[in-house]
Structure 1
Amino acid sequence: MASKDQKQGGGFFSSIASSLSNFGSAMHKSVNGLLGYDGLEVINPEGGKEDAEEEAQRGRWKKEERDSYWKMMHKYIGSDVTSMVSLPVLIFEPMTMLQRMAELMEYSYLLDQADGCEDPYLRLVYASSWAISVYYAYQRTWKPFNPILGETYEMANHGGITFIAEQVSHHPPMSAGHAENEHFIYDITSKLKTKFLGNSVDVYPIGRTRVTLKRDGVVLDLVPPPTKVNNLIFGRTWVDSLGEMIMTNLTTGDKIVLYFQPCGWFGAGRYEVDGYVYNAAEEPKILMTGKWNESLSYQPCDMEGEPLSGTELKEVWRVADVPKDDKFQYTYFAHKINSFDTAPKKLLASDSRLRPDRYALEKGDLSKAGSEKSSLEERQRAEKRNREANGHQFTPRWFDMTGEVTPTPWGDLEVYQYNGKYTQHRAASDSSDGIEEVDVRSIEFNPWQYGNLTTK
């Protein structure tokens, strides 16, 4: 149970402590010795009865591809592989990490409701539901492209929101994002830390997410749980998030602690989220329960965390309809994010939509996507050589480094702050109706700040 001290054992969420959910993780199928890959395991979240070899063959890799990948990757076991390895496009989706950041905006109406809510505890219910809503999309097993330094993604066509994200650092990979409408301001500095474990990878979100609700000036701070990607080489790849998500009202001291249950034997506990809203004195006020891939509900509770008599669970969020049998498991909103039809006027040439490798993969041309990806990576290395030879330092366009270093559960983070220049740029672009428009598809992808990008 996600109580304030993790000690309460009974009550509404006593099932969380069931032996099935907490006695070990998912069903593991050892493939030690299988095809020479000693020490790896296949995890079947459904707890099926297939033997290890049969289950192992269910992955997206052909045997020869698996052999090649393992030879390349086995030396990195135990390492952070965030930017160490150039990976084959076979495992990618036609989207970048900057676009994935924008997926948090799909259910932004929950933040609008939080801003309009006078009850401080219900406000946290809405805001935390918004934070959890993206996990349905994030269960996709395809890897997004790492952004090129200086790459951007902008969105100006959803719920009155203006969104801008920029890749502000290459080593370590870091992104910064800003979104705003009449109800809220969203700011994030994102940095991932990984631990490669052979057939799986642990992902730790070293980032800072802040939401400001405009009506009362309330500032909310979000700390998400880590994520594990299982069966990278063998078996059916699947994603699980486990541990605590904490959202704190920095203005009042109220907070919500939600516990993501790990996947247990035969899939027990998978997707389940439970927890409480606490006041500043750490007394439970509202309980929440649900599944991050389906819906979330809430109910007022007493000091022991039990539902108040005469109240009932009320649904606060439910996942929207999604396309059936989508190749990349995209939602309708993910398709909207990728679409040129929804790109803002006078799209920045550094926008992720324009990446030739991403676009080729979207069109199903893996060969071209691979060659374009290699070309972009080499141009990025060439720009770095050029920049360093001239004694220059990369400077983000839309975000400034603050000099602030904030601690997170998984490491310190250098914080970037939105500088307001994109708002001015977008206002100028939207008002310049006299300038002839160009087809955004004809714009050449150009995140580079330095010329003469020789690859020799």
Structure 2
Amino acid sequence: MNSRDEKPEGGGFFTAISSNVKFWGNAVQKSVNGLLGYEGLEVINPEGGTEDAEAEAERGRWKKEDRDGYWKMMQKYIGADVTSMVTLPVIIFEPMTMLQKMAELMEYCHLLGLADETEDPYMRLAYASSWAISVYFAYQRTWKPFNPILGETYEMVNHGGITFIAEQVCHHPPMSAGHAENEHFVYDVTSKLKTKFLGNSVDVYPVGRTRVKLKKSGVVLDLVPPPTKVNNLIFGRTWVDSPGEMIMTNLTTGDKVVLYFQPCGWFGTGRYEVDGYVYDAAEDPKILMTGKWNESMHYQPCDSEGEPLPGTELKEIWRVAATPQNDKFQYTHFAHKINSFDTAPRHLLASDSRLRSDRFALEQGDLSKSGSEKTILEERQRSEKRQREAKGDHFAPRWFNVTGEIAPTPWGDLEVYEYNGKYSDHTAAFDNSDSIGEIDVKSIQFRPWQYPDL
């Protein structure tokens, strides 16, 4: 598909979209058999080139000896879920935790404000689904975030009037819960990732539940995102794709939007492209949507056949913001903002991700210290687990409660956590409307621990 800034010609264009998106092509895959003794590894070039497969396979962030050792260690995990069972080197990490990455979904939260304000039920879904798509530009980063320590938190204020709190509520399997709220919406998520390690790639399945309540209309939206594939983990240039289907359903009315994330095909065709429709409760299309998750999204009213209504035109609904040039970790400006204390409340919890010594050392470029600090934190977490088992104790999250509800997802059942309101009570005593300014991180010790004196 061509640029989304060009209007389509001919009535059959969107008919073709609705038909062809159901028959995705396969991404280019080049088997580099026998390369340096690594039989069967695949190196996938997103640009679709066919020459110099071995040279492509040797590219990446690894030194040869590190790569060889990592491959030898990871071979036994092929086909397994490696979400929390493997200790990974910090060379593949970014100075951010998974809790912080959850907060990146809030960058374009003004779209939820527009969804709340509109009286059009179908535009409501167009705005809200564009918000859900917007985070994929940030999610294409090829660095891995740190796994949160059990009881770790992340707080964010001073952005769009939002108060955001996330907490690591379970360690095995790793699960996080998040809550955000402003004058327009309430956002709640229980997040659990399931992975399948395939050697030079890993499939990531978002076994989670995301709900958004729009305050003006009172409607509740449910989001089911597509899976993600991280290619060329060891050999080649690492890159990310999210082929599949995103569904956002208005649980109040039955309306929904179905968007197809096209996989990368030959010579990069289809990469980034998203196409689909907003449907009413009777499953008749009302609005067509088209765009690229790394650029922009557009919409246009359509008839019952999915064709654009006469006299209408494609209009832009979202466009990615400008990004820093040549950023080491491919961060957006918002990602840097998340890592800074400008978005922290006046009284920051000692369990906040920003205070992690391993994360901070990596941010300062000290890989050796980051690795050693990461080892110390992980060993402390294991010690707490042994102490809990010896005492017969159970870990209880501070800001979220387990509901007992088991929610089905396309990739497995999910134990649902809900926000308990205690964080609002905690912050009520403080004026957290202003930035706290510069913080000496050395003055605040990272303390997510259940047994502080252990």
State TM-score, norm by structure 1.
0.94
Structure 2 residue 26 is matched with structure 1 residue 28: no
Amino acid at match of 1:340: F
Structure-to-structure mapping, 1:405-444, within 5 angstroms: 405-430=406-431, 439=440, 441-444=442-445
2:88 corresponds to: 87
Aligned partner of residue 73 in structure 1, secondary structure: helix
The 1-side partners of 2:368 and 2:245 are apart by 41
The 2-side partners of 1:20 and 1:276 are apart by 12
Structure 2 residue 327 is matched with structure 1 residue 326: yes
**Contact 1:383/1:451 (8 A) holds in 2:** no
Structure 2 residue 184 is matched with structure 1 residue 183: yes
1:96 corresponds to: 97
Amino acid at match of 2:350: A
**Contact 1:22/1:262 (8 A) holds in 2:** no
1:110 corresponds to: 111
**Contact 1:43/1:230 (8 A) holds in 2:** yes
**Contact 2:345/2:432 (8 A) holds in 1:** no
Aligned partner of residue 359 in structure 1, secondary structure: helix
The 1-side partners of 2:284 and 2:226 are apart by 22
**Contact 2:190/2:210 (8 A) holds in 1:** yes
Cα distance change of structure 1 residues 362 and 443 upon mapping to structure 2, 3 Å threshold: same
Amino acid at match of 1:363: Q
Structure 1: where are the runs of 5+ without partners? 2-9
1:54 corresponds to: 55
**Structure 1 residue 441: deviation in Å?**
4.6
**Contact 1:20/1:268 (8 A) holds in 2:** no
The 1-side partners of 2:169 and 2:28 are apart by 40
The 2-side partners of 1:419 and 1:278 are apart by 34
Amino acid at match of 2:365: G
**Contact 1:56/1:234 (8 A) holds in 2:** yes
The 2-side partners of 1:231 and 1:263 are apart by 14
Amino acid at match of 1:174: M
Amino acid at match of 1:149: L
Amino acid at match of 1:443: I
**Structure 1 residue 20: deviation in Å?**
12
1:371 corresponds to: 372
Structure 2 residue 214 is matched with structure 1 residue 213: yes
The 1-side partners of 2:440 and 2:52 are apart by 54
1:249 corresponds to: 250
Aligned partner of residue 343 in structure 2, secondary structure: coil
**Contact 1:340/1:441 (8 A) holds in 2:** no
Cα distance change of structure 1 residues 46 and 22 upon mapping to structure 2, 3 Å threshold: farther
Deviates more, 1:107-116 or 1:342-351: 342-351
Cα distance change of structure 1 residues 74 and 171 upon mapping to structure 2, 3 Å threshold: same
Structure-to-structure mapping, 1:56-455, within 5 angstroms: 56-430=57-431, 439=440, 441-453=442-454
Percentage of pairs with the same residue: 81
**Structure 1 residue 432: deviation in Å?**
12
Cα distance change of structure 1 residues 299 and 18 upon mapping to structure 2, 3 Å threshold: closer
1:42 corresponds to: 43
Cα distance change of structure 1 residues 353 and 161 upon mapping to structure 2, 3 Å threshold: same
**Contact 2:402/2:415 (8 A) holds in 1:** yes
Q: Deviations over 1:416-448 (max 9, x none)?
A: 000000011111132899xxx985551000100
The 1-side partners of 2:192 and 2:59 are apart by 32
Amino acid at match of 2:213: T
The 2-side partners of 1:378 and 1:365 are apart by 20
**Contact 1:31/1:38 (8 A) holds in 2:** yes
Amino acid at match of 2:324: P
**Structure 1 residue 210: deviation in Å?**
0.1
**Structure 1 residue 23: deviation in Å?**
6.5
Aligned partner of residue 157 in structure 1, secondary structure: coil
The 2-side partners of 1:18 and 1:263 are apart by 18
Structure 2: where are the runs of 5+ without partners? 2-10
Cα distance change of structure 1 residues 370 and 159 upon mapping to structure 2, 3 Å threshold: same
**Structure 1 residue 50: deviation in Å?**
3.0
Aligned partner of residue 375 in structure 1, secondary structure: helix
**Contact 2:24/2:263 (8 A) holds in 1:** no
Cα distance change of structure 1 residues 16 and 286 upon mapping to structure 2, 3 Å threshold: closer
Deviates more, 1:81-90 or 1:46-55: 46-55
**Contact 1:284/1:305 (8 A) holds in 2:** yes
Amino acid at match of 1:79: A
**Contact 2:158/2:342 (8 A) holds in 1:** no
The 1-side partners of 2:285 and 2:133 are apart by 20
Aligned partner of residue 430 in structure 1, secondary structure: coil
**Structure 1 residue 378: deviation in Å?**
0.2
Amino acid at match of 1:50: E
The 1-side partners of 2:314 and 2:63 are apart by 47
**Contact 2:159/2:343 (8 A) holds in 1:** no
**Contact 1:11/1:304 (8 A) holds in 2:** no
**Structure 1 residue 344: deviation in Å?**
1.2
Amino acid at match of 2:224: V
Amino acid at match of 1:88: P
The 2-side partners of 1:316 and 1:272 are apart by 15
Cα distance change of structure 1 residues 447 and 325 upon mapping to structure 2, 3 Å threshold: same
Q: Deviations over 1:352-410 (max 9, x none)?
A: 00000000000000000000000000000001111111110000000000000000000
**Contact 2:15/2:307 (8 A) holds in 1:** no
**Contact 1:184/1:213 (8 A) holds in 2:** yes
Aligned partner of residue 431 in structure 2, secondary structure: helix
Aligned partner of residue 140 in structure 1, secondary structure: coil
Cα distance change of structure 1 residues 78 and 297 upon mapping to structure 2, 3 Å threshold: same
Q: Which runs of 4+ in 1 moved over 6 A?
A: 17-21
The 1-side partners of 2:163 and 2:433 are apart by 18
Amino acid at match of 2:95: P
**Contact 1:16/1:261 (8 A) holds in 2:** no
The 1-side partners of 2:330 and 2:175 are apart by 25
The 1-side partners of 2:44 and 2:376 are apart by 36
State TM-score, norm by structure 2.
0.94
